[in-house]
Amino acid sequence: MGKRFDEIRRIYHRHESSILNPALWAVLNYRYGAWARCVPNRFLRYFLMKLYGLNAFLILITSGIRLNCEARIGRDLHLVHSGNISVHPMAVIGDRCGIQQDVTIGTNPDRKGAPVIGDDVYIGAGAKILGPVKIGDRARIAANSLVINDVPADATAIGVPARVIRYGGGNQAKTNHEKSSGKSADQPSTQETVSTENRESSRQQHE
């Protein structure tokens, strides 16, 4: 029980320590649903999942966030800016990942399967990651990119379709949400990351 309260406390502080942040409720409801669907008693599980479904519906219509409890999401997920985030039930997301608004992590009609995303990955606003692709640890997905191919660890991917334009070095690609979870690292802030993505997007448009 102590671990549950500790997890709730971390989720609360990671999302601006505000009960008005829709991302807070989306992540909490996901964690609740992931727990409820594993309750052994099927009758109790039925009612618990009904409550999860009601909460998920209310969160969806008020914020556009859909975190399916069937998805496998690691520790310390950070929805950096809430709104219009969709995660497919078959998706796998590692620890300490950061996701901005208007992101879709889902399937591709031409290829069966859902994305597998590693640890410490940062996904910029408007990015779409579709199909059975693998995103390596500490990778960055730039804003408004369409990822339909694998992205190596420590890489930055940008464009439609996304292409790898840069490899980071070890800890250099770690994200701001990792810092908020108490880890010490020489990493960029959210503003620095967004600024870098905007410069990269502008440079690509002029190529």
Name all domains of the chain by residue range, CATH numbers in brackets.
2-205 (2.160.10.10)
Predicted TM-score of the model (pTM): 0.77
pLDDT, mean of residues 86-103? 96
| Per-residue pLDDT tens over the stretch 155-205 | 999 999 999 987 765 444 444 434 434 443 344 444 444 445 545 544 544
Lowest mean pLDDT among 62-66, 75-79, 171-175: 171-175
| Per-residue pLDDT tens over the stretch 78-93 | 999 878 999 999 999 9
Sign of CA dihedral 96, 62, 16, 52: negative
E strands of the chain, at which residues?
66-67, 72-73, 78-79, 86-87, 92-93, 98-99, 104-106, 116-117, 122-123, 128-130, 134-135, 140-141, 146-147, 155-159, 162-167
pLDDT, mean of residues 89-99? 96
In whole angstroms, what is the distance from residue 96 CA to residue 174 CA? 9
Residue 127 has pLDDT above 60, yes or no: yes
